[in-house]
Chains A and B, each alone.
Chain A
Amino acid sequence: MNKNAFIISVLLAFFACFPVLFSNPYWIGVLNDIWLYAILGLSLNWIVGHTGLFNLGHAAYYAVGAYTAAILSTRYNIPILWLLPVAGAAAGLFALAVARPIIHLRGDYLAIVTIGVGEIVRIALENDIFGLTGGSNGIFGIPRPEIFDMRIRRPWQFYYLIGGFLLITIWFFYRLEQSRFGRALNYIKEDETAAEGSGINTAWYKLAAFVIGAVWAGMAGTLFAAKMTIISPGSFNFWESVLIFAIVILGGAGSIPGVILGAFLLVGLPEFFRNFADARMLFFGAAMVLMMIFRNKGLLPPLARKYAGVPRVKGGDA
């Protein structure tokens, strides 16, 4: 425990000082991407890692959030950060409408249907749905975010904005994970019939988990729109969903540190291998296959929750 607290403090201090120590905007930009994908990964982790619902269309909710923020901020000049809850709510409502009829599907069936949802959203955006999304060119001229009259433009400023939101995300999901809500989702993942038979409203919890994950992806979409100032459907394609999914599985489904590590590896490492761009996908494909064989719970699998007063396990580290 103390060891973990120490490691966390050192990492926090290091990353808090990073932009001061290394003022290289390129690497700060890379970290911004990592933070963003860590947020997305944690939001999907709630659905996939904790509840065991195979959602392979998470980019759809990310897109709904990004476009909601982009449309409202460009048309009505609403400061984009105010739109965080609005974009989250839009993504959540969309998820509620989509998930309600499909959430009872099991495993691979749900995976296939969610891929379909992701594609439908992308195609709708490309076809300039309701004349709002700008077709395949997307939306540009999204205003920069402002905090206390400070205009957020430079990478280091985004670094603290997105990094701060990541900290809130970690805190939010950590607290939920440690509550009866988190336990209920884990029971469902383990054995849905037994969970229902023990008194857990499985249908409600599955839907709630899905919607909360989508809300969070929608808010991540707002940050993305604010950072890019231009968004287009290409940013929300099937591979985006696969990447977020892979971050969760590689790092360790159900584990917050695991998902963050997954974001570092899948978003950060490719930047080191820019010169071998072609071999990159091959490398990651092979890494995933090896991992599934040798470490199928991910690199940093979740730790069991601790309960005060429960007898210590002999020889264990609990």
Chain B
Amino acid sequence: MKIKEKEEEIISEFEMFDDWMDKYNYIIEIGKSLPGLDEENKQEKYLIKGCQARVWLVPEFKNGEVVFSADSDALITKGIVALLIRVLSRQPPEDIVNADLEFIDRIGLKEHLSQTRSNGLLNMIKQMKLYALAFKAKQQK
């Protein structure tokens, strides 16, 4: 499935909730169901800077696609990174770099994009795109 299709899928799932509380409960559920990382992967070099909760993001490059795995010690943050992984993982680097991730706004998580939010959603996206960019450069060599 393409990035856009996955975004649409998430948007329609979130349309079921008209209450923020249900929405957050869902994000927490998503967070709980993300496999997370083994302790040995929770390394300093995988930490995303600028997040109030710790977020580790591990990228791999397999068969022309970037595969992300991640973990966080806060559940909401973990849920949010899980959504990003659902959309961006197992996609070609080019598509990741160009993704506009409109779904964040559409499912009402835009407030997490503001600079004052230290959950670092912006930093997560930036880091994912940077990894994709690096893999893309490697691919072209």
Asked if A and B are interacting partners, one says no
Residues of B within 8 A of A (CB): none
